Amino acid sequence: MRLTVALQAALLAAACSYDRSRPHPLRGRRTQAAHLLRRAGFGAGKDTLDEYEALGLKGAVDRLVDYEAVEDDVEERIKPFNLDLKKLGDLQRWWLLRMAYTRRPLQEKMVLFWHGLLTSASAKVGLPNPTPQNPDPPHYLLDQHNFFRAHALDRFENILLGIARDPAMMVWLDSQTNNKGKPNENFARELMELFTLGLVGPDGQPNYTETDVREVARAFTGWGLDRGAFVFRANNHDPGMKTILGKTASFDGADVIKLIVQQPAAAAYLSRRLFEFFVYPDPSPEDLRPLVAEYTRTGGDVKAMLRVLFTAPAFSSPKAYRALIKTPVDFAVGAVRALGVATDGFQLPGVTTRMGQALFNPPNVAGWPGGARWINSATWMERVNFANVLCTARDDAHIMAPPFATVIERNGLTTPEAIVSYFGDILLDGQLSATMRQTLLEYLASGDPRSLPAPAGGKGLPAGLPPKPFLPTYVDQKVRGMVYLILASPEYQLA
């Protein structure tokens, strides 16, 4: 427990470690692009950073939000691995590879958002189990996942209506047992408490009552499953009058969703969940006002809300910078993307699960708690070990070594200072403390003498050294080690 507290304290210190006497980092166009790609995606390597920096903030946001216009070959890239998506490990691996190699990062990030908000878990929903009598059973979790991808930026009402009819959700929250005369309240309660309204509003007053829960459950009677597909059974539906959120009518489930999304509490709740996922915890009512206004103006259009969010002053404010602890997925996938690693993803499901985030199997209906709770003594060691595996890969069967030598040659990195600056820029936006920079330089300088910079007053490399001043063994050992130190630093755990 003491170690966990110390690790969490180190992360808080790292969040404040950049020099605040200097201009705020997010005023710089490149840092702004890097910040946007970490939050609205999973980070990026140099080429993608160059591309988004050139677009400017508005152009970069448009590229991310209007992702339908971006061609993506990620499925073709994954296909050769012949993954069996009926197995949980392969299903997780497939999604992690999509995150690592997609050219539509916001789409995958929003699938992750909905997966953590409108949860369902394999522990209860299960996975397909083909039999001779039923060789191709429905894959509830995969179907739900594909629904989230297809509707990632849809209107909130459409997303909720789809998920209310989704077989995985119906099994997860027992909707298929919601019968007239004996309604099951599980989905009705979570729909309001965790999915749309929250328990109380900003004024401290309840957003719904126990009577509302019972009446909503009645409205959803008759919604069931037949051979793995949604079906409405009129003879099992309670058509009577119901009073819900102050309105009385013979509501059915679709009517309830329409009523809920019209509530001011729904606008505030979704705005808060999006803001905390993408910007920083505990936003003020003033922080949320632009999002709430856009929700109200557009009827809950998520794409419009995100366009407002990513261009809002709060998103690029000092308070937002390094304000979130990376999820296990952000940490692992982000490192793969930033370093240009080629992998078949074989190790990624186990790595992220041991770090505390088992995709397709969140711990409960509330999803992952996140924040500082991502970090404890066990999960910290998993992060450090993964950083070591990634940096020390030697072209094994599953991970190609990061192309350090190619990066050094292509970018003309001829001194330790240049190497530290390059990887510091890619991995930490160049925001290295003086102590950290000096530590990395000393680590590099303790190796091959060819790594030393030109003598004071000299031009270029010391006389007699070849055009490529770093020996392969130096790059293989010292540069890998330096990158590992950055990945294992408290600063890199922050998004």
pLDDT at 459 over 50: no
pLDDT digits (tens, 9 = 90+) for 187-203: 999 999 999 999 998 88
Integer angstrom CA distances of residue 30 from 285, 334, 486 = 30, 17, 20
**488 part of a folded domain:** yes
Q: How far apart are CA 250 and CA 115, in angstroms?
A: 31
For 303-331, give one letter per residue: b (16+ CB within 10 A) or e: bbbbbbbbbbebbbeeebbbebbbbbbbb
* Residue 14 confidence (pLDDT): 56
Containing structural domain, residue 431? 404-454+464-493
For residue 449, name the pLDDT band (cuts at 50, 70, 90): very low
Integer angstrom CA distances of residue 379 from 14, 29, 100, 136, 352 = 18, 34, 21, 37, 9
DSSP state, residue 448: -
**471 part of a folded domain:** yes
Q: How far apart are CA 460 and CA 467, in angstroms?
A: 10
- The count of domains in the chain is 1
What's the pTM? 0.92
Looking at per-residue pLDDT, the higher value among 452 and 262 belongs to: 262
Secondary structure percentages of the chain, helix, strand, coil, to 5 = 60, 5, 40
**424 part of a folded domain:** yes
Looking at per-residue pLDDT, the higher value among 227 and 448 belongs to: 227
pLDDT at 402 over 90: no
pLDDT at 144 over 90: yes
**37 part of a folded domain:** no
Tell me the residue ranges of DSSP E strands in 130-186.
none
Q: Which residues contact 371 (CB under 8 A, 6 or more apart)?
A: 281, 325
Q: Read off the pLDDT of each residue in 39-54 and give the average, rounded to a whole number.
A: 97
* Residue 464 confidence (pLDDT): 41
Residue 385 in 3-state DSSP? Answer: helix
Q: Read off the pLDDT of each residue in 24-38 and give the average, rounded to a whole number.
A: 90
For residue 268, name the pLDDT band (cuts at 50, 70, 90): very high
Token pair of 143, please?
Answer: 């179907």
Number of neighbours of residue 75 by Cβ within 10 angstroms: 12
Q: Read off the pLDDT of each residue in 218-224 and give the average, rounded to a whole number.
A: 97
**51 part of a folded domain:** no
**157 part of a folded domain:** no
Q: Read off the pLDDT of each residue in 251-267 and give the average, rounded to a whole number.
A: 98
* Residue 202 confidence (pLDDT): 80
Whole-number average pLDDT of the chain: 91
Q: Read off the pLDDT of each residue in 137-143 and give the average, rounded to a whole number.
A: 97
Angle at 242 between CA 239 and CA 243, to 5 degrees: 165
Q: Which residues contact 406 (CB under 8 A, 6 or more apart)?
A: none
**39 part of a folded domain:** no
Q: How far apart are CA 104 and CA 168, in angstroms?
A: 25
Q: Read off the pLDDT of each residue in 189-218 and give the average, rounded to a whole number.
A: 96
pLDDT digits (tens, 9 = 90+) for 307-348: 999 999 999 999 999 999 999 999 999 999 999 999 999 999
Residue 159 in 3-state DSSP? Answer: helix
* Residue 319 confidence (pLDDT): 95
Looking at per-residue pLDDT, the higher value among 470 and 241 belongs to: 241
Residue % of the chain over a pLDDT of 90 = 82
CA dihedral for 158, 162, 164, 168, sign (positive or negative): negative
* Residue 447 confidence (pLDDT): 61
**412 part of a folded domain:** yes
* Residue 470 confidence (pLDDT): 73
* Residue 446 confidence (pLDDT): 81
Q: Read off the pLDDT of each residue in 64-92 and give the average, rounded to a whole number.
A: 97
pLDDT at 466 over 60: no
For residue 41, name the pLDDT band (cuts at 50, 70, 90): very high
